[in-house]
Amino acid sequence: MYGKLKMDICETLKKLCEYKGVRILEGSVSVGHIHLCVKTPLKISVSSFMGYLKGKSALMIFDRHPEFKQRGNRHFWAKGYYVDTVGRNK
């Protein structure tokens, strides 16, 4: 189950990032969390992008894996997220 879910999460995140013009530079999916290094257009705020990514991906995962709706509080992702920036000094 984990292997199939992992692939679905990866594909879902890739698709949603493409819709917003966001490039995934690096990423990893683990059992408890996901790490992404992305390049976003300047017009997108971090908070709106994360809300979009977590909200839409949860709906898409629930459509593909309805058994997760039956567990606990029906939330796929945890409430928060961590963001840091990477860039060049000019």
The structural domains of the chain, with segments of one domain joined by +, span 14-68
This prediction's pTM: 0.82
Q: What is the pLDDT of residues 51-62, one digit of tens each?
A: 999 999 988 988
Check if the beta carbon of residue 87 is closer than 8 Å to that of residue 30. no
- Could you identify the residue written with the tokens 């189950």? 1
Percent of all residues in the chain with a pLDDT value above 70, rounded to a whole number: 88
Taking CA atoms, 11 is separated from 16, 18, 43, 57, in Å, by 9, 11, 24, 10
Instruction: Tell whether the model's pLDDT for residue 88 goes beyond 80.
Output: no
For the chain, report the end-to-end CA distance as a whole number of angstroms.
46
